[in-house]
Amino acid sequence: MTAGIKIINDWGTVLIDDAFPTLAMLAQGTVTLDSEGSRYIGDHAGSVAVRSTAVVGSQYYNQIDGYPAGLYLFGPPGAVVQWYVYAPPQEPPSSFGLIIRDSAGRLMFDAGRKAARVAGLRSASTRPGWQGSAQFDPGRAWAVMPLVSAFDSVNSFRRWGDPQEYLQYEDVSVSGGAVNGGTITFGMTSTARRTYGPYYGLPLPTGFTYTGNNASLAVLDVTGY
């Protein structure tokens, strides 16, 4: 049934509302970034929070030239990353705890799932070299979730193989965060490379760049997760 409930903390922030879904953990894992500074974590329909001592971010890509569709992490090669994917609670609901649905019967909150516990929000106009930081309780575990990702995508083309064959290289940097105790550092990740092709044709295409200047990030409490 519909609960018609709102839960508000001492600062007036709405934590649970029967009219809006509370994000719940869909998947989680730990990976090490490869020699190019990236790692595929699956085709999950959700938002990614990352926990690493290095600045790490994420981006969703469609399928292209051997790279499957889904979520990719970016950062320095060899970085160890704990990741958490959050999405509106999925049907069927868990078998215990409080379940809240809206007036249309859609699942809004499921106490049996790990909820996204937002502790802070940051926004910035980010360019290479931008960096910011914030302090949180060092006794808790924190992760950074990009809500709006700043990015640089620099694309270049080089001949490879026969005279009409070439490869496309995409050098990617996205906004993200690093967690060191209670210190959260925000900024742009180191550049990771993706390679597409081979393609065929003359003349060799001209390189191009895509950029997104603005970032918005949430800090999540993942203690016990």
Name, in order, each residue with C-beta under 8 angstroms of 182's C-beta and a sequence gap of 6 or more. Answer: 135, 136, 137, 138, 139, 140, 142
3-state secondary structure of 12: coil
Give yes or no for residue 1 having a pLDDT over 50: no
How many C-alpha atoms does 95 have within 13 Å on its Cβ side?
0
Quote the CA–CA distance of 86 and 92 in Å, as a whole number: 16
pLDDT in tens, 146-187: 998 999 999 999 998 888 999 999 999 999 999 999 999 999
Quote the CA–CA distance of 111 and 79 in Å, as a whole number: 33
Q: What is the pLDDT of residue 3?
A: 47
